Chains A and B, each alone.
Chain A
Amino acid sequence: MTDIGEPQPRKKPQRGSSRVRMGVYGVAGILLLVAVWELYKWLGPTGGVVLWGTRVLPRTSDLAMPHVWDMIVRMAEPVTRAASANPLWLQVALAALVTLGIAAVGWLVGIVVGIGLALVMQRWRLAESAVLPWVILSQTIPLIAFAPVVRSWGSRIEIGAFAWQDWMSVALIASYLAFFPVAVGALRGLQSPDTIHTELMHSYAASWWTTMRKLRFPAAVPYLLPALRLAAANAVIGAVVAEVSTGLQGGIGRLIIQYAGQASGDPAKAWGPMFGAIALGLVAAGSVALLGVILSKYRRAEATT
């Protein structure tokens, strides 16, 4: 009745059971995908489905659509017939690690740039209206057209002992895709505190930077986490695509091209790096989820509005 003594019960969903349910849904989704693949391969027309001269569904031959189990078995076999060859999964994993490293650098650079831009836009209203349109416009430049240009510019950079490496072009392109969600999310987050909180800080005669540290950054966390997740996914995609279009060796992008070229003789092999790229995206998103757990106290506002 009165609210003098009793605390309100927390309206908190039961985390444990919902996480199990999510896992079940996830596995069910993958099984469904496998079932659809195999069912179409079994029942679909050999020549695929062609509408008005365009093939909208692929041929069902082993060449175009290998069995899922063939793909899995192929992962355990050596890459080539050479005696010293690694198993395919190891080769893919090593390449994925290289790409992950490059994407991580791009991600970090993107975060620094994105948060920096958000700080400038939060600080000066004028900057927001001057910078934000360019930030949005920057994302309309097609990546594939952009990558070789970056590479050729980069190759001309040489300052003292520092020489531009090819992987840096890839990281730069990854950061180019990563900074956008961070800039937009961070800006929204930094602007999210209520008037009552900003006025409280004003009444404390807190400086701009103190207000940032004590109020705006913590308040931005619930906005930043999804932005960082998106940035991680973008950085991975950006890195893979940039590897392909700049022809960088060692990463998963290169492997995708290389094995696709061998697909006529070894169709299941081409799918190895695809799975590698998917795993890469999951690892990247998972790391951000971990960050969310560490910062969970700043997400209380999410739960209670």
Chain B
Amino acid sequence: MTSADSTPRDAARDAAVTIANVDKTFATREGEVHALKDVSLTVAAGEFVSLIGPSGCGKSTLLRLVADLDQPTAGAVRVFGKPARQARVDQDYGIAFQQSGLLPWRTVRGNIELPLELHRDGPHGADAASRRSRAAELIELVGLGEFAEKYPDQLSGGMQQRVAIARAIAEKPNLLLMDEPFGALDEMTREYLQSELLRIAAETGAAVVFVTHSIPEAVYLSDRVVVMSPRPGRIEAIIDMKLGATEQRTDAIREDVAFFEMVTAVRESLHRGSPPTGSIPARDLAAREGRSA
């Protein structure tokens, strides 16, 4: 295939996700809902980016466009330089939602093996033995060693969510898409799984697009936080986080002064997000917040 039309710029080839001038409207009975308006965003390979904003601002919609679960009304979404649809067919991403979405009739192991079974030509999919050993590896990785043969209804919510994450990374995707994966969990489980996720992201080197409505969660996890505002959904600001490399981030950082400063920065930007007029270009805003050193 020719690289001329599939990769407009070299940067787009290196990027995990390129979203260019995307609009999304839904036709509903009450009329059109303008879910996303002129959204542009690039996520570099290996980068952890959070989408944050009030509910209804189009975070899930944006993630679904990247996953090719829905298509933009205008603009283009590229994943590793390919159209989103091709990236889905090529299994370039793993995905996890707020509900774990485990199949109730499959054990923990069976659920994790599902994507491997479906993609016999993918990594670890070739035969039952390699699927099994990959699943065993993942079960260890998410710390569910004793629960391999348990069914989802025998697990707590946090454990189910860990299985869902293991399933999402089963084929070692270079991109992880997560829509409020910890949203339904209690605070302690949540913080624990955040640290787990950071460790896994560092180990796999995958880029992550992570939807959340928790400011501390976004700050703790991300390299960059994308602040969105509603009606119509658009990007209000993109704020660089400077909490150090992913693998060095530990729970102690949650008590760091820098952590609180960034929480404040995100919060202020979120509250600024109401009037659509006079919005500040994202890049300038990040600079004004003084996040350069």
Contacts and interface: CB of A to CB of B under 8 A. Distances in A.
Contact of A199 (B69, B104, B114, B157): B69
B232 interface: no
Nearest to A300: B104
Contacts of A54: none
A214 B118 contact: yes
Contacts of A206: 118
Interface string A187-228: 000000010110110111110001000110010010000000
Interface residues of A, number: 29
A19 interface: no
Interface in A1-19: 1-4, 6-8, 10
Chain A CB within 10 Å, residue with most, of B89, B105, B114, B151:
B105
B119 A3 contact: no
Contacts of B185: 3
A304 interface: yes
Contacts of B145: none
A204 to B, nearest CB: 5
Nearest to A12: B153
A301 B105 contact: yes
A21 interface: no
Contacts of A194: 101
Interface in B78-123: 88-89, 91, 93, 95, 97, 99, 101, 103-105, 114-115, 117-119
Given A3-B157, A3-B185, A215 B115 contact: no
B155 A8 contact: yes
Contacts of A210: 118
Nearest to B193: A4
B196 to A, nearest CB: 10
In terms of DSSP, what is the predominant structure of the interface of chain A?
A: helix
Given A218-B103, A304-B104, A7 B155 contact: yes
Contacts of B155: 7-8
A297 B105 contact: yes
B32 to A, nearest CB: 22
Contacts of B150: 7
B165 interface: no
A47 B159 CA distance: 71
Nearest to B97: A196
B188 interface: yes
A159 interface: no
A200 B156 contact: no
Contacts of A196: 97, 99, 101
Contacts of A2: 158, 186, 188-189, 192
B151 A300 contact: yes
B43 interface: no
A42 to B, nearest CB: 54
Contacts of A1: 188
Contacts of A204: 91, 114-115, 118-119
Interface in A94-113: none
B154 A7 contact: yes
A30 to B, nearest CB: 36
Interface in B150-174: 150-159
A8 B155 CA distance: 6
A136 B88 CA distance: 40
22 contacts: A2-B188, A3-B159, A4-B188, A4-B192, A7-B159, A8-B153, A10-B153, A196-B101, A197-B101, A202-B69, A202-B88, A203-B69, A205-B89, A214-B103, A214-B118, A215-B103, A297-B105, A300-B104, A300-B105, A300-B152, A301-B105, A304-B104
Contacts of A303: 153
Contact of B186 (A3, A6, A197, A297): A3
Given A2-B186, A7-B150, A301-B104, 7 more contacts: A7-B154, A7-B159, A205-B88, A206-B118, A214-B118, A221-B105, A300-B151
Q: Which 3 A-B pairs have the closest CB atoms?
A: A3-B156, A304-B153, A196-B101
Given A196-B97, A214-B114, A304-B153, A4 B189 contact: yes
A203 B104 contact: no
B105 A218 contact: yes
A298 interface: yes
